[in-house]
Amino acid sequence: MSKRNGFLMIYALGFGLILMLAGIFSYGQTTALTPHPLAVVKVERGEGLGRVLRRMEKDHGVSRRFLRLLAVLRGDSTRIKAGEFVVQGPVSSNQLLNLLISGESRIDRLTIPEGYNLMDISAKLEQRGIASGRKFLEITHNPRFIAKLNLPEGFSKETLEGLIFPETYYFSAGVDEREIAAHMVGEFTRRAMGEITEGGSPSGLTPYQILILASIIEKETGVGSERPLISAVFHNRLKINMPLATDPTVIYGVKDFNGNLTREHLQTPSAYNTYINQGLPPTPIANPGLESIRAAMNPARVKYLFFVGKGDGTHFFSSDYKTHSQAVFKYQVLPNRKRKH
């Protein structure tokens, strides 16, 4: 081989290496890495990059081999810092590595219990200083924003009530209200939407009506074993066109409710007053958990039409009004009289 050809080969190899490195860096900069919108990555003190990447591959589906290669080429394989990082996605490999070596790991933890409505969630976001409660409410009632979420046909385009999945969420400082809402709805879509849209209904309810019913069940009882029974009562009432007559729906329709449900409230016309109106209210009244959703789809096979609280968190169920009236007297009227005396 001549000296000239040797130089050409070295030049070609060098040029090829430069192109390969440029391709790696370009891929690491432009290609989305995380499969989910948000993910929490924990790095323990003294933990090496290899171990962190193996866990991330298992938990979040990232490519640990490419990330390790990119970290070595960048000279960052030993520079990651301990912390609990929120990855707001989609992010590139370079962005993820920048986060891990920056040490900027401040995150906010937010737990949404079953039965919270949008007002409750907005108040908690505001109280915790995570985001503006007012802006969150505006976003979750914004038809243009809701349309971008590609919800199934038949779901409300006016509100995201019912579509916030009860869960513990992690958000980085300064997260936008749109990202919060989109992530919470995304979690609902991933965890619950399939059950609602594919499971069917014994009463012919639409998926959105199932969600509405599930929200009522969630507000009526916190006892898991009772949910199918509560569901049966409402399914049975719907079949015979009997008003649902459930207090939580009336409360949802009262502006600035002060905690005291009165006879006047029960007699005031409202789209959510199920004492006056037959059928389900127009939207969910809260954000139900999976148990309530499954109960709405699978009511107990009983003929109950009534239930009344027993004062201990549970309910007495009955199939006829006479038995129900006796239960109301026993569990509510008599205890109230005793308290007054």
pLDDT value, residue 35:
47
CATH code: domain 21-105 is: 3.30.1490
pLDDT at 53: 81
DSSP-derived secondary structure for 91-139: -BHHHHHHHHHH----EEEEE--TT--HHHHHHHHHHHTSS-HHHHHHH
Strand, coil or helix: what is 190?
Answer: helix
pLDDT at 151 over 50: yes
pLDDT of residue 88: 65
- pLDDT of 99-130, one tens digit each? 777 766 557 789 999 999 999 999 999 998 88
Residue type (1 letter), 271: A
**pLDDT tens-digit profile of 225-268?**
999 999 999 999 999 999 999 999 999 999 888 888 899 999 99
Contact 195, 290 (CB under 8 A): yes
Given a cut of 90, whether residue 340 has pLDDT beyond it is: no
Q: Can you tell me which residue has the tokens 């906010």?
A: 108
Stated pTM of the model: 0.73
Q: Where are the alpha helices (DSSP H) in 148-252?
A: 177-188, 194-198, 207-220, 227-239, 247-252
Nearest residue to 165 (alpha-carbon basis) of 218, 97, 201, 129:
218
Cis ω on the peptide bond leading into residue 90 (within 30° of 0)?
Answer: yes
Write down the domain spans for the chain. 21-105, 108-198, 207-340
Tokens of 274: 């199920």
Q: What is the pLDDT of residue 25?
A: 44
pLDDT digits (tens, 9 = 90+) for 48-70: 888 888 887 887 777 777 778 87
Query: 261 CB contacts (<8 Å, ≥6 apart)?
Result: 247, 250, 251
Q: Is 40:86 a contact under the CB 8 Å cutoff? A: yes
For residue 96, what pLDDT is reported? 78
CA angle 61–108–93, rounded 5-degree value: 30
Q: What is the pLDDT at residue 321?
A: 94
Q: Which residue reads 């409410």 in tokens?
A: 137
Beta carbons within 10 angstroms of residue 58's beta carbon:
10
Q: What is the mean pLDDT of residues 86-106?
A: 72
If you average pLDDT over residues 195-217, what whole number do you get?
Answer: 89
pLDDT band at residue 216 using 50, 70 and 90 as cut-offs: very high
CB 92 within 8 A of CB 28: yes
Residue 79 has pLDDT above 90, yes or no: no
What percent of the chain has a predicted confidence (pLDDT) above 90?
55
d(CA 50, CA 52): 5
Mean pLDDT of 188-212: 89
Other beta carbons less than 10 A from residue 249's beta carbon:
25
308-337 average pLDDT score: 90
Closest by CA position to 156, among listed 284, 54, 294, 262: 284
